[in-house]
Structure 1
Amino acid sequence: MNASQVIFYLISAFVLGTAVLAVTSHKIFRSAIWLLFSLIGVAALYFWMQVEFVAAVQIIVYVGGVVVLIIFSIFLTQQSGSEMPKPPLKRMLFSILAVLFGFAFSYNIIANYGFDAATTTKPFNVPVSAIGEQMLDTKQYGFVLPFEVVSMLLLAAMIGCIVIALRSAPKGKPVQKPAAPAGANGASNKPVTGSNMVVEEKSL
């Protein structure tokens, strides 16, 4: 096992570990931070594969766009530091089925692909201008549709952040109201009643 393989396994373990912590943490802010680390690990994999442009897009779109919006929306909520309730059994079963389906789908793709040994030592070097032209191309091998899907992803993330920020306070938790502003002499602006007048006369 050479140094390149060791780096790959270390980055992969970091991505999987932080991803598991993101879905198992009981605090929503910690989940967002672990998700941030997991996406940074994916960008590190792209850097390891020497596709710097895709790594930069990963950081800009996901790390700098989606996750930052999620974190700001968490700061605007009233439960940013509290623990999330335990999910119901039905939701946990659907989550386990989704994970199993993802593993089966990934295994099917890997098994059907040959992964032959590289026959050339030519480095993977594609100019950014060619990537930009291919990304906005509407012909057979163009990627204009995924490019627009990324913009819809950012829009969906923004809408989700707004929904989280507008979440109402939990039942049974009083909503704190701002205190009444003080007057010019430091006294409150409450209306003067008879009892207040008597107290003020005794103090004089």
Structure 2
Amino acid sequence: MTTEFIVFSVIALLITGFSVLAVTTRKIIHSAVFLLFVLLGTAGLYLLLEYHFLAAVQIAVYAGGVMVLFIFSIFLTHDPGKELKFEKPKRMVFAGLISFAGLAICGHVIYRNVNKFYYYVSHKELDMQYIGKTLMGTDKYQFMLPFEAVSLLLLACIIGAIMIARKK
């Protein structure tokens, strides 16, 4: 076992643990703090991969900006120390099944593509210019569409924050 593998394993376990705590805790402010730890752990994975720019963006944009907006919306709409209602068991089972399906899809995609990634990384060094062209390109194996999908996700988060912040 290498030190890199041990550090990766620790960060992955922390991210997994804080993710579970973020969705299972009954206090909304604790959930926001656990989500912050998940985002910081993701930045730690970027640092482990030596993508310092992506780690800085992860901390500045997600851990900084999005979490500040999320916590402000919590303070404006709810009593932060108040416990949330317990969900119905049917909803919890349905959410668990949907989560498992998403996990299975992600696992399948990773399993099918991990060898391609290792082959590419071992034969060519990734530089920031190449990453930028790949993220903003529209050719095959480029990521303009997923990039736009993430922007729609952020728009949905903003709309959700507005809906939460409105008075009943």
**Superposition TM-score tier, normalisation by shorter sequence:** 0.7 to 0.9
| CA distance 1:123–1:51, change in 2 (3 Å) | farther
TM-fit CA distance, 1:71: 0.9
Counterpart Cα distance in 1 of 2:71 and 2:114: 41
**Superposition pairs for residues 1-204 of structure 1, below 5 Å?**
1-113=1-113, 115=115, 124-127=125-128, 129-168=129-168
Match of 1:171?
Answer: none
The offset of 1:51, in angstroms, is: 2.3
Unaligned runs of 5+ in 1: 169-204
Letter of the 1:10 counterpart:
V
Secondary structure of 1:83's counterpart equals coil
3-state secondary structure, aligned to 2:156 = helix
Structure having the higher helix fraction is 2
Larger CA Rg, structure 1 vs 2: 1
1:103 deviation in Å? 3.2
CA distance in 2, matches of 1:24, 1:92: 10
Calculate the TM-score normalised by the size of structure 1. Answer: 0.69
Distance of 1:25 and 1:49 partners within structure 2: 31
The alpha-carbon distance between structure 1 residues 124 and 83, as it changes in their structure 2 partners (threshold 3 A), is: farther
Q: CA deviation at 1:21?
A: 0.7
Q: Is the 8 A contact 1:22 1:30 kept in 2?
A: yes
Residues 68-99 of structure 1: per-residue CA shift (max 9 Å, x gap): 22111001013322000001112101111023
- Per-residue CA deviation, residues 34-83 of structure 1 (Å, 9 max, x unaligned), is 01101111111121112233333333342233322211100101332200
Question: CA shift at 1:125, angstroms?
Answer: 3.9
Q: Give the Å deviation of 1:122.
A: 7.3
> What is the number of equivalent residue pairs in this alignment?
167
Cα distance in structure 2, aligned partners of 1:40 and 1:27: 20
Distance across 2 between alignment mates of 1:97 and 1:157: 23
TM-score, normalised with respect to structure 2:
0.82
CA contact (8 A) 1:19 1:35 kept: yes
User: How far 1:19 moved relative to its partner?
Assistant: 0.5
Distance 2:102 2:37 in 1: 21
**Separation (CA, whole Å) in 2 of partners of 1:10 and 1:141:** 31
Runs of 5+ in structure 2 lacking a partner?
Answer: none
Cα distance in 1 between the residues matched to 2:138 and 2:113? 27
Letter in 1 for 2:15: V
